[in-house]
Amino acid sequence: MQKIFGILFILIAVWAAIEVFTKGMDGAFGGLLADHSKPQASAPSERGLPNLARDRVTRAMHTHEERTLLQTEPDGHPAD
């Protein structure tokens, strides 16, 4: 019986750790642990790690496309 409770405790601890890691302290558990005494100035913590990574990759891809276009067409006009 103790082994079952031990395994259950470990599973709940892992789930809680993943929830806090992916959503941050303010977004985890539906905002249950959020500090409500001050207004939230940082919205990225609510968005979570996967969304932040996706946004950085998208911005990097757009920057790369812009640089590539500037290298091939420095005046902004297509080559004839």
> Each residue of 47-77: pLDDT tens digit?
677 888 888 999 999 988 888 877 766 565 6
CA distances from 10 to 29, 33, 34, 39 (A): 18, 21, 24, 34
Predicted local confidence at residue 79, as pLDDT: 54
Predicted local confidence at residue 77, as pLDDT: 60
Whole-structure pTM value: 0.41
Q: What's the burial of 62, exposed, middle or buried (CB within 10 Å: 0-12/13-18/19+)?
A: exposed
pLDDT in tens, 4-45: 999 999 999 999 999 888 888 777 777 777 776 555 555 555
